């Protein structure tokens, strides 16, 4: 009978299966969980599983998921004006944000800002600015650097080939030079920092003599802490050496703090630790704690070399994202977030180095613990260093002899989200900067158990 009611229960909807069928396959994925809600350091799935989040959505929710002050500011902005188009008029929400943002930028010369949505867009904006301002075409990037997956940023990325592989032709005019990272030189972990800096600066000098002349080079673009390249902080001597080379040749220094910025490393921006002045600073991710917002900052003199109309974008500096970002900066100041970063960083480094030195099977797997603040990488001792650049343990388990993906899987089994990074055998800790002492202790316990489980199997 048409329309007859039957007492059978409706079939349960498998959201992950739906996603697998209808969401682009090009997206790699750590788990098949379907995230439905999140608060602070925890994410809850549609199946009611509560996971401890040591990823912060890849360094985005630095104040924890759904920080009440940030969510409230965004909600209030939603009832005021949501789309305040920047090519049509000034946005009050943007101006209110900039009044908070300018004082926390790492150098007083950074007094002119262009806001956009994603990190990759901001990278493109910086390169566009550098080319327009210097009238030179080329950009030097670091081996191991990651700047995004759009066509231009995939061209600038040197952390793994997967981001550009099969997608050519990529943007031309990009040259790579060495980063002071022992694994990229094939050197032992205890190679003195001065030696790595000397080698990397020598390579940069040669790059400018053998690959791209300074007269053709607009900018050197670098992450002061390699992210997708292995969580490797650049020594201050390297950063000041690069600054000197830029000054000598009239090349702009572009610092990508998309991942290392917004309190992640213990300072608002990592570059502050070296005192080096960027010509252009790029920020994104943590700036709006989950709302899409990015930007570049430079001197007004530099930014003014672009013609009006050459920059813009429909959603650039969206008003809701700006209101959220303003609340983020206020929260950093009022809740003394950097104090927690310092305390939790000490706790995490203490735990990891104790584990490394414990003489246990798990501890003996650890080669290096490094990072700054709550941007912490752990590299495993592994003679088979290179791994498949797709970095997807789920897709190609047979090509993953490394330890990092196994430890990550064990952590996920124990309801903790943790990411590996780079072609090297590295896991990275990026917890919310608001993580409590107890939550971090719990994370350390899960990590230790996961390491022990892997060590037993090896
Ligand atoms: C250092 C760095 N630059 C640029 C990007 C690209 O940012 P987005 O993914 O927002 O485009 C990322 C993203 O992970 C990053 O870590």
Domain identity same for 229 and 298: yes
In ligand 1, which atom is closest to the CA atom of 148? 6
- Give the CATH number of the domain where residue 317 resides: 3.40.640.10
**Which range (27-36, 104-113, 390-399) has the least confidence?**
390-399
3-state SS string for 260-277: CCCCCCCCCCHHHHCCCC
Sign of torsion over alpha carbons 412, 417, 418, 419: positive
How far does residue 453's CA lie from ligand 1's centre (Å)? 32
Nearest CA, atom 10, ligand 1: 119
The 3-state DSSP composition of the chain as helix, strand, coil percent (nearest 5) reads 40, 15, 45
Domain identity same for 330 and 343: no
How far does residue 222's CA lie from ligand 1's centre (Å)? 12
Domain boundary among 308, 334, 360: 334
Nearest CA, atom 16, ligand 1: 259
Q: Total domain count for the chain? A: 2
How far does residue 285's CA lie from ligand 1's centre (Å)? 8
pLDDT tops 80 at residue 386: no
Domain identity same for 191 and 293: yes
Which of 26, 116, 120, 315 is the best mutation target for the ligand 1 pocket, counting ligand atoms within 8 Å of the beta carbon and taking the most?
120
How far does residue 147's CA lie from ligand 1's centre (Å)? 5
pLDDT at site 12: 87
How far does residue 11's CA lie from ligand 1's centre (Å)? 40
Domain identity same for 381 and 325: no
pLDDT at site 10: 66
pLDDT at site 396: 39
DSSP letter (8 states) at residue 272: G
**Which range (271-280, 326-335, 388-397, 448-457) has the least confidence?**
388-397
Domain identity same for 158 and 298: yes
Which of 27, 141, 148 is the best mutation target for the ligand 1 pocket, counting ligand atoms within 8 Å of the beta carbon and taking the most?
148
How far does residue 48's CA lie from ligand 1's centre (Å)? 30
Q: Is residue 453 a part of any domain in this protein?
A: yes
How far does residue 267's CA lie from ligand 1's centre (Å)? 19
295-318, pLDDT tens digit by residue?
999 999 999 999 999 999 999 999
**Average of per-residue pLDDT across 221-231:** 98
Q: Is residue 2 a part of any domain in this protein?
A: no
Q: Is residue 55 a part of any domain in this protein?
A: yes
Q: Is residue 279 a part of any domain in this protein?
A: yes
Domain identity same for 145 and 257: yes
Domain identity same for 348 and 303: no
> Tokens for 253?
């220094």
- Give the CATH number of the domain where residue 382 resides: 3.90.1150.10
Q: Where are the beta strands (DSSP E) in 40-136?
A: 42-45, 50-53, 112-116
Domain boundary among 284, 310, 334: 334
Question: CA 27, CA 450: separation in Å to the nearest integer?
Answer: 26
How far does residue 361's CA lie from ligand 1's centre (Å)? 35
339-353, pLDDT tens digit by residue?
999 999 999 999 999
Q: How far is CA 431 from CA 41, 142, 173, 357, in A?
A: 7, 26, 36, 23
Local structure of 369: helix, strand or coil: strand
Q: Which residues are paired to 140 by β-bridges? A: 175, 220
Hunting for tokens 């709006």 — which residue is that? 288
Give the confidence band of 252 by pLDDT, cuts at 50, 70, 90: very high
How far does residue 232's CA lie from ligand 1's centre (Å)? 16
How far does residue 119's CA lie from ligand 1's centre (Å)? 5
Domain identity same for 261 and 388: no
End-to-end CA distance of the chain: 62
Q: Is residue 231 a part of any domain in this protein?
A: yes
Domain identity same for 33 and 167: no
Domain identity same for 330 and 377: no
Q: Is residue 10 a part of any domain in this protein?
A: no
Domain span holding position 203: 80-334
> Tokens for 303?
């930014």
In ligand 1, which atom is closest to the CA atom of 259? 16
Which of 179, 259, 419 is the best mutation target for the ligand 1 pocket, counting ligand atoms within 8 Å of the beta carbon and taking the most?
259
Cα dihedral 380→384→388→391 (10° resolution):
-10
pLDDT tops 90 at residue 110: yes
Which of 142, 147, 291 is the best mutation target for the ligand 1 pocket, counting ligand atoms within 8 Å of the beta carbon and taking the most?
147
139-152, pLDDT tens digit by residue?
999 999 999 999 99
How far does residue 380's CA lie from ligand 1's centre (Å)? 25
Domain identity same for 180 and 280: yes
Domain boundary among 334, 351, 382: 334
Give the confidence band of 394 by pLDDT, cuts at 50, 70, 90: very low
Question: CA 454, CA 157: separation in Å to the nearest integer?
Answer: 32
Burial class (CB in 10 A: 0-12, 13-18, 19+), 48: exposed
Backbone angles phi, psi at 361, to 5 degrees: -60, -40
Q: Is residue 6 a part of any domain in this protein?
A: no
**Average of per-residue pLDDT across 375-400:** 60
Pocket around ligand 1 at a 6 A CB cut-off: 58, 118-120, 123, 146-148, 223, 227, 256, 258-259, 284
Which of 142, 227, 318 is the best mutation target for the ligand 1 pocket, counting ligand atoms within 8 Å of the beta carbon and taking the most?
227
How far does residue 342's CA lie from ligand 1's centre (Å)? 24
In ligand 1, which atom is closest to the CA atom of 145? 1
Question: CA 154, CA 174: separation in Å to the nearest integer?
Answer: 11
263-291, pLDDT tens digit by residue?
999 999 999 999 999 999 999 999 999 99
Burial class (CB in 10 A: 0-12, 13-18, 19+), 85: middle
Which of 58, 152, 258 is the best mutation target for the ligand 1 pocket, counting ligand atoms within 8 Å of the beta carbon and taking the most?
258
CA within 13 Å, CB half, 201: 19
Q: How far is CA 340 from CA 58, 67, 264, 447, in A?
A: 19, 16, 11, 21
Q: Helices 319-334 and 68-78, interaxial angle, to 10°? A: 150
Nearest CA, atom 7, ligand 1: 119
Q: Which residues are paired to 298 by β-bridges? A: 112, 280
Question: CA 120, CA 140: separation in Å to the nearest integer?
Answer: 17
In ligand 1, which atom is closest to the CA atom of 120? 11
Domain identity same for 286 and 412: no
> Tokens for 190?
């205890």
On whether the CB atoms of residues 50 and 415 are closer than 8 A, the answer is yes
Q: Is residue 1 a part of any domain in this protein?
A: no
How far does residue 290's CA lie from ligand 1's centre (Å)? 13
């Amino acid at each position: 009978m048409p329309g007859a009611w039957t007492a059978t229960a409706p079939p349960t909807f498998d959201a992950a299966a739906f996603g697998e069928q209808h969401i682009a396959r090009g997206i790699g994925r750590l788990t098949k969980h379907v995230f439905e809600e999140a608060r602070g350091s925890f994410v809850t799935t549609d199946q009611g599983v509560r996971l401890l989040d040591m990823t912060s959505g890849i360094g985005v929710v630095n104040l924890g998921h759904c920080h009440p002050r940030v969510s409230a500011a965004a909600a209030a902005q939603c009832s005021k004006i949501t789309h305040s188009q920047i090519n049509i008029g000034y946005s009050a929400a943007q101006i209110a944000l900039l009044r908070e943002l300018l004082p926390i930028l790492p150098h007083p010369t950074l007094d002119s800002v262009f806001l956009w949505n994603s990190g990759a867009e901001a990278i493109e904006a910086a390169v566009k600015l550098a080319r327009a301002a210097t009238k030179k075409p080329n950009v030097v990037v670091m081996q191991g650097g990651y700047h995004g997956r759009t066509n231009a940023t995939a061209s600038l990325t040197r952390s793994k080939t997967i981001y550009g592989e099969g997608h050519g032709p990529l943007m031309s005019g990009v040259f790579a030079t060495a980063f002071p990272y022992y694994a990229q030189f094939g050197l032992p972990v205890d190679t003195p920092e001065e030696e790595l800096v000397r080698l990397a600066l020598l390579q940069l000098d040669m790059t400018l003599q053998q690959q791209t002349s300074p007269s053709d080079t607009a900018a050197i673009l670098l992450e002061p802490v390699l992210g997708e390249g292995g969580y490797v902080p650049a020594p201050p001597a390297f950063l000041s050496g690069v600054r000197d080379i830029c000054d000598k040749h009239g090349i702009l220094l572009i610092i990508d703090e998309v991942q290392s910025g917004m309190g992640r490393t213990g300072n608002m921006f990592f570059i502050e630790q070296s005192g080096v002045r960027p010509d252009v600073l790029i920020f994104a991710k943590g700036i709006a704690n989950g709302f899409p917002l990015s930007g570049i900052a430079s001197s007004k003199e530099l930014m003014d070399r672009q013609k009006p109309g050459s920059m813009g974008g429909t959603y650039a500096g969206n008003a809701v994202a700006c209101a959220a970002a303003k609340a983020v900066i206020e929260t950093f100041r009022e809740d003394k977030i950097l104090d927690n970063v310092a305390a939790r960083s000490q706790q995490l480094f203490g735990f990891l180095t104790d584990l490394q030195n414990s003489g246990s099977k798990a501890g003996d797997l650890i080669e290096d613990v490094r990072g700054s603040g709550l941007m912490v990488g752990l590299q495993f001792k592994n003679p088979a260093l290179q791994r498949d650049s797709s970095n997807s343990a789920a897709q190609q388990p047979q090509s993953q002899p490394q330890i990092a993906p196994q430890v990550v899987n064990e952590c996920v089994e124990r309801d903790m989200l943790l990411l590996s990074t780079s072609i090297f055998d590295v896991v990275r800790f990026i917890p919310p900067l608001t993580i409590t002492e107890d939550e971090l202790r719990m994370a350390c316990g899960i990590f230790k158990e996961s390491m022990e489980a892997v060590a037993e199997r090896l």
